[in-house]
Amino acid sequence: MQFYMKFLILALLVSNIYGTVWNSPHSKIEEKNDTLFSSFSLPPKHLDPVVSYSSNEWAIISQIYEPPLQYSYLKRPYELEPLTLKFMPTIVYMDRDKNIVDENSTEIAYSKYILKFRDDIKYQKHPSFVAKNRSLSAKDLEDISTISDFKEVDSRALKASDYEYAIKRMAVRQYNSPILDNMAEYIVGLKDFSKEITKIAKEKRENIFDLREYHIRGVDVIDDYTLSITIRGKYPQFLYWLSMNFFAPIPWEADLFYQQKGLIKKNITLNTYPVGTGAYYLAKNNPNQEMILKANPNFHTEYFKGERLPFIKEVIFSLEKESIPLWNKFLQGYYDASGVSSEAFDQVVSISSSGDMGISDGMRKKGIRMSGAIEPSIFYLAFNMTDPVVGGYSQSAQKLRQAISIAQNEEEYISIFRNGRGIPAQSPIPPGIFGYEEGKRGTNYIVYDWLNGKRVRKSIDVAKKLLAEAGYPNGISKKTGKQLVLYYDTTSRGPDDRALMDWRRKQFERLGIQLIIRATDYNRFQDKVRKGKAQLFSWGWNADYPDPENFLFLLYGGNAVVNTNGAGINSSNYQNPKFDKLFEEIKTMKNSPKRLQKIREMIKIAQKDAPWVWGFHPKSLSLYHSWFSNIYPNAMANNTLKYKKIDGKLRIQKIEEWNRPKLMPLVFLVLFLLVLGFLLYRVYKNRQRETIL
């Protein structure tokens, strides 16, 4: 009888827990709600918008801070639109005497951007807006360990002066803003102001430094909701900068609040707890575990497809250092989206006979969707144009670089090392950016032929012919009679990089050239490149804004590192007067047939000179579960969380379906042990009875 009672109890227990998920890293309430589960592999270092310039940092702060402009979520090509402004900035062009002139005038000396802000925008609730919290004593701080420990919080309206304050913070050298030098060339008075304010900041380093009493000549607060910024000359790309976090507003209260030494000692600073007007605020910052964004109750009215934003009310970013656990949790439904690692590629992607990528049947059956897009980026192999062997502008130097460019089989590289995720570059300009052209028109005829409607890389025989004409038949120097030896600087030193370096050597071996790999750490590598000491090296660039100027300036002579004490972005030190002249003409032009024609001329010049092996434009692949919607990949916009949706009910249904514990083997084992125990007990009892008798 006892045996049957035990069996009944066991059956009841199994029936109660059979449908329960045991392995969830989240609470069931979070899974049911419209909470987004995401991850990060590297803790963000800077959340202060004047300093931050990394994608993992912008993934957080772009949801919190609001610069004047944003990119339209849906429009392609990428288009700017007002974010905190009532309408797009008004631009007034002036001559040297500040007289207004036409935008096509050759007399333009200044451009004044007039920004009219909305009057219905408020900051998130924050302790800095409570006056007494800006003068805290040691006793006040005894019970404070995070920003959420403050009991009294408040808010206020966004003002034009907050944007002025942000630009003044940018000018302080001690804050290390990465765009200060660039903006100082344009914003009137910023360079002189930076020198002055940096000196004052040094003198006041032991005290609270209030920037309100100082002013930049070219930045004027006209009233509470109007700001003007005057820049030198005509620079249409300035609008793009106004969409970046560097120009996000900083309330003076927050700046003064975070300068308190007691808070700095507790690591409560603008780098750890942002203060913004965006759709979300940072509710928890534990970068060794998780970071949590919550919907900002003070967020201003904004609609998408007739519905008020934001849709998702909470975002949990969990630290995941390893890709395999992250991938497994995504498959179980515990993360809502995922990238596609090389290890998981074959499991995820199905390649058609025509070479097109689609999602595999296994992923499709789980309702997982995939999107892919060519990124506005380029990765290339650079020649140092000041190097006596691979540099220079003579015909022989050109042909040497052209031969190497043909021999570097980028199609093979993309296939082997990127699982086909990318396209070979024909110029610096990637797809989606004005000046990029498809097909025959966009083909680099130095490296490719156009045959039967397709782009075909020139044969290695063509490369060898060019190499011989350059003075190196079969890789042997006519001058010295020795094999040509070239040096490739890289940071690739681990075992995983060995295959890539072997592949790179073989590309040069096909020409009879010996390639020596010089591996070092990133800091030394960067120092070598900036001093113009590297001969060949690989580099890359991601678009700051969707304009060809942002890519062509990588080859502008005025930006060469050897001309700028290492501060320039032209790491190959390419300097062609014709290219430079055209660049100076197109950089301030609006997109037009005339601008396109000049860009075409520039590209042909650069293709012939071949300062780069043009490399490839990467393709990103992203996966989304069926309950995650409103996803439209946008390579330029960073503040897109507010548009996305989560169906929590569908998610928890799928999680329970996919993660239901398999208890039957355990049940059978327990039953077997119970039966075995029962039988052994009966044997034991029988023997006892026999002994008594």
640 in a structural domain: no
DSSP count for the chain of H helices, then E strands: 22, 27
423 and 552 co-located in one domain: yes
- For 387-405, give the DSSP string: STTT-SSSHHHHHHHHHHH
Domain-embedded: residue 143: yes
**367 part of a folded domain:** no
- In the prediction, which pLDDT does 522 show? 85
- The Cα 250–Cα 247 span in angstroms is 9
Tokens linked to 65: 């801070």
Q: Which of 235, 270, 305 is where one domain is finished?
A: 270
* Range with the poorest average pLDDT among 3-17, 90-104, 111-125, 408-422: 3-17
- Residues 586, 463 within the same domain: yes
Say what percent of the chain tops pLDDT 70.
94
- Alpha carbons 36 and 317: distance in angstroms, whole number: 8
Q: Which H or E element spans position 317?
A: strand 314-319
* Whether residue 600 is found in the same domain as residue 678: no
Q: In the structure, what pLDDT confidence band is assigned to residue 61 with cuts at 50, 70 and 90?
A: very high
Neighbours of 190 (CB within 10 A): 26
Domain housing 392:
377-620
Of 244, 270, 296, which residue constitutes the final position of a domain?
270
Indicate which CATH number applies to the domain containing 584.
3.10.105.10
Task: Of 190-194, 349-353, 686-690, give the lowest mean pLDDT range.
Answer: 686-690
Q: Give me the pLDDT at residue 323, please.
A: 87
Say if residue 603 is in the same domain as residue 685.
Answer: no
State the pLDDT confidence band at 687, using cuts at 50, 70 and 90: confident
Q: Tell me if 553 is assigned to some domain.
A: yes
Domain boundary at 245, 270, 295, which?
Answer: 270
* 115 plus 172 within the same structural domain: yes
pLDDT one-digit tens code per residue, 376-411: 999 999 999 999 999 999 999 999 999 999 999 999
* pLDDT reading at 8 higher than 60: no
Report the pLDDT value the prediction gives residue 164, as an integer from 0 to 100.
Answer: 98
Q: Is residue 370 part of a domain?
A: no
Task: Copy the structure tokens of residue 508.
Answer: 């040069």
Smallest CA-to-CA distance from 229 within 170, 278, 274 is with 170
Of 317, 245, 302, whose CA–CA distance to 275 is shortest?
245
Query: How many structural domains is the chain composed of?
Result: 3
Q: Are β-strands 422-424 and 612-624 bridged in parallel, bridged antiparallel, or unpaired?
A: antiparallel
Evaluate whether residue 433 is within a structural domain.
yes
Within-domain flag for 372: no
- Does the residue 418 lie in any domain? yes
Domain identity same for 670 and 556: no
CATH code of the domain covering residue 259:
3.90.76.10
